[in-house]
Amino acid sequence: MSTSKTRIRVFIINIFNKYLSGKTSENEDQLIEKIYDRLDIHDLDHIDYESINKDIKQQVDAAIARKIKISNRKKHYQLAVAASVLFVLSLGALFLYQGKDTIMSLSRSKHTARDFPQLTLNREHRINLLDSLPVGTTLHKKGEGHILDLTHMERSQKVELIEINNPSETPFTVILKDQTKVSLNKHSSVSFQSNFGINSREVMAVGEVDFDVSKQQSQDKWVPFTVRTKLQTIEVLGTQFHVSTTIPGEENVLLKEGSIKLAHNHSEGTVILKPGDKAFLQAIQPKIMISSQSSKAKIDSWRKGEFYFENEKLRQVMDEIGTWYGKSIEMNEETSTKTLTGIFTRYNTIEDVLHMIALTNSVDFKEKKGVIYVTVK
Q: Mind listing the pLDDT tens digit for each residue in 284-301?
A: 888 898 876 556 787 788
Q: At what angle are helices 49-67 and 26-37 packed, to 10 degrees?
A: 170
Q: How far, in Å, CA of 21 to CA of 97, rounded? A: 14
Residue 6 pLDDT greater than 60, yes or no:
no
Confidence band (pLDDT; 50, 70, 90) for 72?
A: very low
Confidence band (pLDDT; 50, 70, 90) for 78?
A: very low
Q: Check residues 41 and 211 and name the one with the higher pLDDT.
A: 211
Q: How many helices (H) and strands (E) does the chain have?
A: 8, 27
Residue 104 pLDDT greater than 60, yes or no:
no
pLDDT of residue 183: 93
* Domain layout of the chain by residue ranges: 3-95, 293-377
Q: Name the CATH code of domain 293-377 (choices 3.55.50.30, 3.20.20.100, 3.40.50.300, 3.30.70.930).
A: 3.55.50.30
Confidence band (pLDDT; 50, 70, 90) for 302?
A: confident
pLDDT of residue 74: 44
pLDDT of residue 303: 78
Residue 12 pLDDT greater than 80, yes or no:
no
Find the mean pLDDT for residues 100-122. Answer: 57
Beta strand segments in 156-277, E: 161-166, 172-175, 181-184, 188-193, 201-206, 208-212, 217-218, 221-222, 225-228, 232-236, 240-244, 250-257, 260-264, 270-273
Looking at every residue in the chain, the average pLDDT score rounds to 77
pLDDT of residue 373: 95
The b/e string for 189-220 (b: 16+ C-beta within 10 A; e otherwise) is bbbbbbebbeeebebbbbbbbbbbbeebeeee
Q: How far, in Å, CA of 362 to CA of 370, rounded? A: 23
Query: Would you say 57 and 35 are in contact if contact means Cβ atoms under 8 Å apart?
Result: no
Confidence band (pLDDT; 50, 70, 90) for 305?
A: confident
pLDDT of residue 243: 95
pLDDT of residue 59: 60
Q: How far, in Å, CA of 13 to CA of 10, rounded? A: 5
pTM exceeds 0.75 = no
pLDDT of residue 90: 43
Q: Which of 13-22, 27-36, 37-46, 345-354 has the lowest mean pLDDT?
A: 37-46
pLDDT of residue 177: 93
Q: How far, in Å, CA of 8 to CA of 96, rounded? A: 19
Q: Which of 22-26, 68-72, 163-167, 257-261 has the lowest mean pLDDT?
A: 68-72
Find the mean pLDDT for residues 151-160. Answer: 88
Find the mean pLDDT for residues 249-266. Answer: 93
Q: How far, in Å, CA of 39 to CA of 117, rounded? A: 23
